[in-house]
Amino acid sequence: MHERSIEEPILQVKNLKKYFPMGKNQILKAVDDVSFEIQAGKTLGLVGESGCGKTTCGRTCTGLYAKTDGEVLFKGKDVHALRGKERKAFTKSVQTIFQDPYASLNPRMKVGSIIAEGLRIHHMLGSKSEREEKVQELLNLVGLQSEHANRYIHEFSGGQRQRIGIARALAIEPEFLVCDEPISALDVSIQAQIVNLLKKLQMEMGLTYLFVAHDLSMVRYISDQVAVMYLGKIVELTSSEELYTHPAHPYTQALLSAVPIPDPDVESKRARIVLDGDVPSPISPPQGCRFQSRCRFASEKCREVEPNMKKIGTGHYAACHLL
Ligand code: SF4
């Protein structure tokens, strides 16, 4: 268990921008002035359709991508300015769980070696028996058996592979995990199992999560706070409870209306808000509010003036002229 206070933000993202030059003087503004923070031991869900910049945001927070502007502070230190020992300590503290464990785990290595790989990279190997013991401990921690260490990744189901991905990420005892759509490729019943496992591990180990997802269905069960992203911007940020009971931004309302409700009576009566068309290209986002081309409330002002993020309630922020 890490000894940090649960009140302290472990990650602070301030006005972060990540732009990609695309040639012909075009710029893809994947992340465009995004701010949020995550308290130690808590989870922020970062949600939006594919192409909204959420994965790029996660990768810029872990230092995998250089930033264009703004700041990412991990325990108060600028992630993109870390060098030498501090950089090494940071890469050990932060790990990523990927959407497709099959693509991110080496199919030619046995599971035991895959899990121990991080130990080798960070010079934490110890003796052979210590290593084997550690691998077994990790397999058991994620609900797998010790004998699975001698098998190959293709011998496992999607859910089991994701458990292996989690065991590998936890091997070097990180504090902060970026969960990059870890359940999107899994069946719904398996999604719940992985979310429950992540919650259990968080409680036992004091982990902090940035949980990236393309819809709001499972995010509720794991997140303390949720940030909704659209075309490189956060459009709404609040507690999970508030977001699901009082969604304020028209985009959040539309995303939420697509989440199935377990009660068949409620489900049959509820109105679904259909979003017209696809997400516009982030290379040439619409003028004014970026959501205006798909928003059912769009007015002249929305087509001309970009709304700023403003406080609309206790700990509740949204960017919309209607609010
Ligand atoms: Fe819709 Fe206008 Fe609000 Fe944008 S600012 S979300 S277009 S109502």
Q: Does the residue 21 lie in any domain?
A: yes
Q: What is the pLDDT of residue 1?
A: 46
Q: Does the residue 41 lie in any domain?
A: yes
Q: What is the mean pLDDT of residues 126-155?
A: 92
Q: Does the residue 3 lie in any domain?
A: no
Q: How far apart are CA 132 and CA 123, in angstroms?
A: 15
Q: Does the residue 4 lie in any domain?
A: no
The domain total for the chain is: 1
Q: Which residues contact 257 (CB under 8 A, 6 or more apart)?
A: 270, 271, 272, 273
Q: Report CA(271)–ligand 1 centroid distance (Å).
A: 20
Q: What is the pLDDT of residues 105-121, one digit of tens each?
A: 888 999 999 999 888 88
Q: Does the residue 43 lie in any domain?
A: yes
Give me the DSSP letters along 113-181: HHHHHHHHHTT----HHHHHHHHHHHHHHTT--GGGGGSBGGGS-HHHHHHHHHHHHHTT--SEEEEES
Probe residue for ligand 1, chosen from 293, 295, 304, 308 as the CB with the greatest number of ligand atoms within 8 Å: 295
Q: In 3D, which of 133, 100, 140 has the Cα closest to residue 119?
A: 133
Q: What is the pLDDT of residues 159-209, one digit of tens each?
A: 999 999 999 999 999 999 999 999 988 888 899 999 999 999 999 999 999
Q: Does the residue 5 lie in any domain?
A: no
Of 205-219, 238-252, 268-282, the one with minimum mean pLDDT is 268-282
Q: Does the residue 54 lie in any domain?
A: yes
Which residue range forms the structural domain that includes residue 255?
11-318
pLDDT at 3 over 90: no
Q: Report CA(281)–ligand 1 centroid distance (Å).
A: 18
Q: Which residues contact 238 (CB under 8 A, 6 or more apart)?
A: 225, 226, 313, 315, 316, 317, 318
pLDDT band at 148 (very low <50, low <70, confident <90, very high): very high
pLDDT at 273 over 90: no
Probe residue for ligand 1, chosen from 233, 273, 292 as the CB with the greatest number of ligand atoms within 8 Å: 292
Global pTM reads 0.92
Of 40-49, 52-61, 261-270, the one with minimum mean pLDDT is 261-270
C-alpha separations of 154 from 26, 33, 108, 157 in Å: 41, 41, 9, 8
| Ligand 1 neighbours (beta carbon < 6 A) | 250, 289, 291-292, 295, 297-298, 302, 307, 320-322
Q: Does the residue 1 lie in any domain?
A: no
The CATH number given to whatever domain includes residue 306 is: 3.40.50.300
pLDDT at 68 over 70: yes
Token code pair at residue 14: 């301030």
Which residue owns the Cα nearest ligand 1 atom 3?
320
pLDDT at 11 over 60: yes
